[in-house]
Chain A
């Protein structure tokens, strides 16, 4: 079984981003970057399937400027076999991402497509289901468990109110929830090995995709600030203040 796993280079989840003075965008030029945590889980799952002898090849793909090479190297160090960099430096939207990934998928013909359920920067959570729609395949969104067997993949999804289990014929698309697994740490020898693994560079033109975003970012702003709160000394004071001041208790 061949797996295509898509990864995104995002601001490290522990960084608090700053807004540019002209409010045109966030300022991430100097911020620490890393692989989107959900994508790391997707790569880990692919690698585990290979270790179990289920997957035969793992291809990692990323879209962005040349700097996304770092993220692809990380995927290779985790255990992906080769990587594809779709070089497209300008900001893009989920539909363009899905179209580029669909074009890569048509070239590569994977049995399973793995993505993170959302990127922690734009928080859109769209690329996965859009990609499944463009390829006309089934989707298991926010998966906490997946099990491929005999041309199908059984996926348990996290949904409001509990969980749901689906069986999708391959090829299928699955996006990872945090519960799917615990990604491994990359060791130095793996990083060294990853340098020798092939990275192919493609452009949107090579893939025949017109990568023009139709959603425009007009402005960014800080959310309204909360006013500073107080510390109370006792349970009695807390209840009293919730009653008389905040008026949230009868």
Chain B
């Protein structure tokens, strides 16, 4: 048994969700080779080599891969995947773009967002917005899996594994398929949403982007928390899209989740209901969020939040 793990990185840092994928790979057993592809990878490869369980780090450095397009990297992954039984990555936007393309090139199916590894070919995953857990078995020779990062702990550290460069030329026709134009990043001072220990999320009841900033940012700051939002808050323009917690946004499972002015629609619950402790603050005592909250506080969030922030 051996596993090829695709490392996700952004701005010269290995993304923390990759640490969780390494733990899932150790559950599968056998050697774990981590593939780091892109440009400016020295620091990222070193971070990957120190994750407990990693056997080797394979580095493909090329200016042609600076923007990590699936059209350019998937053929590389498919070309070496035959040597492995598993190809895995943490479920994030990188894997969602890359892994199905890899799977199709391998003529293999893929299992998305694995919550539990039952055996080498059998996995548990959520369907219907996480309301049902499905156990699925795959008959493919190479198993392509994305891992729900919050379902596996982060890997610890080890003395650095060997780092080996791998030669790869992006085919001219693959370069033609996608041309990167620009990226726009949301500036966020707190921890990364997907792996934060505490998340403070706001909903439509915040009323405006200014109140979102004024009430939630200081609270998140006091708690060292990442900021999240419901779809309603994002649609109203109170928060950027990539803060959206839910079925179609980020799935989080922090130790503490504070849902502020969020009613608790099925699609939002899908993104947070595996959190350790859930706190809901809402004016409506019948809001569905209270059925999931360990601690509920009914009242006006415009008076309760400043009080909570000042008393922490």
Contacts and interface: CB of A to CB of B under 8 A. Distances in A.
Contacts of B267: 13
Interface stretch (B24-32, B46-54, B130-138, B155-163): B130-138
B103 A215 contact: no
B112 A126 contact: yes
A219 to B, nearest CB: 4
Interface residues of A, number: 80
A206 to B, nearest CB: 21
A158 B267 CA distance: 18
B101 A160 contact: no
Interface in A38-76: 38
Contacts of B74: 133
A122 to B, nearest CB: 5
Interface residues of B, number: 89
B97 A141 contact: yes
B312 A236 contact: no
A196 interface: no
B242 A160 contact: yes
A133 B100 contact: yes
B10 to A, nearest CB: 6
Main secondary structure of the interface of B (DSSP, over half): mixed
B215 interface: no
Interface in B274-312: 276-279, 285, 290-298, 304, 307-308, 311-312
29 contacts: A120-B129, A123-B130, A129-B104, A130-B104, A130-B110, A141-B96, A154-B181, A157-B93, A158-B241, A159-B242, A161-B185, A162-B183, A164-B180, A164-B182, A166-B180, A167-B179, A168-B179, A177-B241, A214-B140, A216-B138, A220-B134, A229-B278, A229-B295, A235-B311, A238-B279, A241-B295, A246-B295, A248-B198, A249-B256
Interface of A: 11, 13-14, 16-17, 19, 26, 38, 93-95, 98, 117-118, 120-134, 136-139, 141-142, 144, 154, 157-169, 177-179, 213-223, 226, 228-232, 234-236, 238-239, 241-242, 246, 248-249
Given A130-B101, A222-B133, A229-B296, 16 more contacts: A38-B248, A95-B103, A120-B129, A126-B110, A129-B97, A161-B186, A165-B183, A169-B177, A215-B109, A219-B135, A220-B133, A222-B132, A223-B130, A232-B297, A246-B294, A248-B256
Interface of B: 10, 15, 67, 69-71, 74, 92-94, 96-105, 107-113, 122, 125-140, 173, 176-186, 194, 198, 231, 240-242, 247-248, 250, 255-256, 266-267, 273, 276-279, 285, 290-298, 304, 307-308, 311-312
